[in-house]
Amino acid sequence: MRLKVNVKGIVQGVGFRPFVYRIAVRNGLNGYVRNMGDAGVEILLEGKTAATNAFLKEFKEKKPPLAQIYQVTKLKLDGKPEYSSFTIHKSSTETEHSGSVVPPDIAICDECLEELRSKGDRRFEYFFITCTNCGPRYTIIESLPYDRERTTMLEFQMCSFCKHQYTDPLNRRFHAQTVACPKCGPKAHLTTNEGELINSEDPIREAGKLLSEGNILAIKGYGGFHVACSTTKDEPLVRLRNVKHRKQKPFAIMARSLEAIKTFAEVSPKEAETLTSYTRPIVLLNKNENYLLSDMIAPGLHNVGVMLPYTALHYMLFDRIQDSAFVMTSANPPNQPIISEDREALKTLGETVDYFLFHNRQIAHRCDDSVARLHGKNLVFIRRSRGYAPAPVMLKQKATRCVLGLGGELNNTACILLENKAFISQHIGDVENIETREFLENAVKHLIHLTNSKIDAVACDLHPKFTTTHLAHELAEENGWQLVQVQHHYAHIAALMAEHNVEEMVGVCCDGYGYGEDGEAWGGEIILGCKDSRFKRLAHLKKQPLVGGDLATRYPLRIAAGVLHKKADVKSWLLENAQHFPHGETEVQIVLRQIESQAMAETTSCGRILDAVAAILGVCYERTYEGEPAIKLESAAIRGKDVLKLEPIIKDNVLDTTEMLLKIFENKARCSSADLAYSAHAYLAKGLAKLAVEKALEDNVNAVGFSGGAACNQILAFIMQKTVKVEGLRFLVHQKIPPGDGGVSFGQVCQCGFFQF
């Protein structure tokens, strides 16, 4: 019989054709297998029916570990057999299907790691050792189908040794497009901060030594540059903070091994599993009692972001030195995307770093490291990027149209919803300037191409002035796509509903800022999510004044003053704290006048209330990175208990926050910051959960969900869960999508009316 099989999924760049070849030959079948221009694979089988069936069985059961099959279509063909053997055909650029995609970048596999360490192996100590099971993918692909000539490996002509492995069906590198060796593949080199070559036999280990000695290095990786330095010496960290204009923002670190991590952080079995998985995200781990790394890595926080090496180059950095870890933070100027080009790196990082460790392979697409934390056993994404993007999130229902979502403004991603698959881009960042907007546009184009999508509609935020809103309007106009605007918090709740396949949910959305349906600033909302996408705001936190507008977000003492002024002696308190305002007492007087004038914008934001508590307790007076006061407040609360035991004050669907802040203020001399910080968390979590439960029972809904940036907060999540479960309702949190704004693009495409929850 003759059978044509089309396979949709992650089937290119994962050793799929060699696998098909092997089982076809084993079963005595003739025909071919080839990659298609739509990221799918086409197979033609000729032979006996029994052999074909045996093939299909093996095909289903023994697929390569990284392959994901979404759909298999089989078509019986008429006519006589045409083939006398089975071969891997040249790829076709034909695009017929859509919804397949190339895999994410994959951390070095155990076999490659072993070869890296085996004297006598051709790739012994070779920094770019990869195979069909590991190496960069998403970041090296220029276009489809996935073949070497359409990747940034094009300029490296395989030597005879590599070619032999590449063409040997029994070899692990059979048709591995990234195959390379020291003779034919990419090479690493070390330069000064002005780009002058430093002659070194062993540039990578030399770089490791330089790091250990206290230098700052820019290191080129798979998806962009990292800036690296010692984790124990303060001097390079001080310098790095100064030049990067990052006063407080935590730096991620890369540790040499799991054992090394355990010397400074607590690691649960689930955390260990996440750290060592082939996606190798940065995992936020609690510092342990022996934490001896510099306090400048994650100042004021109870946890630190740690990852394990994911390329041979990373492993080799640690070879000749004793350091347990290095700072390894993505290299990007504030509000700009991660740097991916050598020239760009020299220009923008030359003054920051002492040396560069380059390699001569280009990066086709930028991709930052992913960041996650664990709430118990539940993985919570802070950022879903390398190792995950662009692998789709699979949904239970199919969308009626193909929709592109452009996300919000901060921590952005883009998303394409195609039938039952949502392809979320890598982390884009804060889309506030030309560079990030361009990055977003390119990522969108690449994603459309990779998935062979025909977009019908584009979704964006309700905010009229967001860069992404403007871009959505332009794209809609240019391409004749329908435009749909989705309220920010509705998007968060829709994301949660789609992820869990629920038709109805009362969602608690705790966030920093979102443009409300009424044009006001929202951020502490109870939302009814329903099947027909007609979401409703049911309740919210009390509106509180933003004294000085955006300045209140930056300096949280202003929020606290605005809330407390009617109830406490705010004036003398602010004067006592005048040094925490950039303009001292003069500014305090202005703040007081602003409060009196009462002409202030207001917000229902949960983030701002946590910020205010942080300022009252002296945990944080200035926000130097997104979420800083609230993040530090969680760290302060981690060992606290609920000493105040405040009963939630709820009136007319509004949870009061003034009395709670007042109690914190009045007790700050009597109770510890830890206990008061915890009490504030407990009040908000219990109050919001109580409101949500009340609404769920009223509306006969059996699920309560928690989303928004503050859903990354473990204390809020745990208390809320307890409060909801006592009432016999389901409590849902994110597992695959970031609760923060990295999940908004996904929520938008689900909420915009073409998807049935």
Could you tell me the smallest distance in angstroms from the CB atom of residue 153 to Zn ion? Answer: 11
Per DSSP, helices labelled H in 383-452 are 434-451
Block residue for tokens 């926050």 = 657
Element (H, E) at 189: strand 188-192
Site for Zn ion contains 159 (CB under 5 A) = yes
Check binding of 107 to Zn ion (CB under 5 A): no
CB of 161 to Zn ion, least distance (A): 5
CB of 185 to Zn ion, least distance (A): 6
Interatomic CA distance for residues 335 and 370, integer angstroms? 17
What is the nearest approach in angstroms of Zn ion to the Cβ of residue 312?
9
Give the C-alpha distances (Å, rounded to integers) separating 498 from 141, 385, 534: 30, 20, 15
Applying CB under 5 A, the span of 96-104, 106-114, 478-486, 531-539 interacting with Zn ion comes to: 106-114
Q: Which spans in 287-419 are helix H? A: 312-317, 342-349
Place of tokens 């705010």: 570
Beta strands in 265-414 (DSSP E): 282-286, 303-307, 325-330, 355-359, 371-375, 378-383, 393-394, 403-405
According to CB under 5 A, which residues from 403 to 442 bind Zn ion? none
Nearer Cβ to Zn ion, position 491 or 689?
491
Residue closer to Zn ion, measured from CB, 121 or 456? 121
**Beta carbon nearer to Zn ion, 310 or 573:** 310
Question: Looking at beta carbons only, is 109 or 403 nearer to Zn ion?
Answer: 109
125 versus 323: smaller Cβ distance to Zn ion: 125
Among 499, 511, 587, 611, the residue binding Zn ion under the rule CB under 5 A is: 511
3-state secondary structure 529-589: ECCCCCCEEEEEECCEEECCCHHHHHCCHHHHHHHHCCCCCHHHHHHHCHHHCCCHHHHHH
**In the complex, least distance from residue 511 CB atom to Zn ion, rounded to whole angstroms:** 4
Beta strands in 368-425 (DSSP E): 371-375, 378-383, 393-394, 403-405, 415-418, 421-424
Nearer to Zn ion, 159 or 258 (CB): 159
Give the integer Cα–Cα distance in Å for 30 and 3. 11
112 binds Zn ion (CB under 5 A): yes
Contact 106, 133 (CB under 8 A): yes
| R_g of the chain, CA atoms, integer Å | 27
Cβ-proximal residues to 165 (8 Å cutoff; 6+ apart), any chain:
171, 172, 173, 174, 176, 179
Closest CA to 461 of 533, 507, 412, 416: 412
CB count in 10 Å sphere of residue 479: 11
> Should residue 491 be labelled a site residue for Zn ion when binding is judged by CB under 5 A?
no
Task: Work out how close the CB of 141 gets to Zn ion at its nearest, in angstroms, rounded to a whole number.
Answer: 18
> Among residues 167 and 586, whose Cβ is nearest to Zn ion?
167
Of 506-514, 630-638, 696-704, 725-733, which segment contacts Zn ion by CB under 5 A?
Answer: 506-514
Nearer to Zn ion, 144 or 312 (CB): 312
Whose Cβ is closer to Zn ion: residue 181's or residue 372's? 181
CB of 24 to Zn ion, least distance (A): 24
Binding mask 167-196 for Zn ion (x = CB under 5 A): --------------x-xx------------
Determine if 134 is a binding residue for Zn ion (CB under 5 A).
yes
Instruction: Examine residue 109 and tell whether it contacts Zn ion (CB under 5 A).
Output: yes
Q: How far apart are CA 440 and CA 435, in angstroms?
A: 9
Residue closer to Zn ion by CB (options 134, 252) is: 134
Non-local (6+) Cβ contacts of 107 within 8 A are 134, 277, 278, 279, 280, 310, 311, 387
Task: Tell me how far, at minimum, the Cβ of 54 lies from Zn ion, in Å.
Answer: 29
Site string for Zn ion, 617-636 (x = CB under 5 A): --------------------
Residue number, 88 or 181, with CB nearest to Zn ion: 181
User: Any contact of residue 369 with Zn ion (CB under 5 A)?
Assistant: no
Q: Pseudo-torsion of CA 131, 163, 357, 285, nearest 10°?
A: 0
With CB under 5 A as the rule, give the number of residues binding Zn ion.
12
Q: Pick one of 29, 162, 188, 630: the residue that binds Zn ion (CB under 5 A).
A: 162
Question: Tokens for 124?
Answer: 């012994």
CB of 658 to Zn ion, least distance (A): 24
Q: Which helix (H) or strand (E) holds 35?
A: strand 30-35
Q: How far is the CB of 180 from Zn ion (least distance, A)?
A: 6
Cα(44)–Cα(6) distance, integer angstroms: 9
Kind of pairing between the strands at 303-307 and 355-359: unpaired
Report, in Å, the least distance between residue 188 CB and Zn ion. Answer: 15
Site for Zn ion in 309-348 (CB under 5 A): none
Give the binding range for Zn ion (CB under 5 A) out of 18-26, 550-558, 691-699, 740-748.
Answer: 740-748
Cα 65 off chain centre by: 23
Stretch that binds Zn ion, among 193-201, 251-259, 289-297, 735-743 (CB under 5 A): 735-743
* Shortest Å, Cβ 654 to Zn ion: 21
Which CB, 472 or 570, lies closer to Zn ion? 472
User: Minimal distance in Å, beta carbon 212 to Zn ion?
Assistant: 28
Residues in contact with Zn ion by CB under 5 A are: 109, 112, 131, 133-134, 159, 162, 181, 183-184, 511, 741
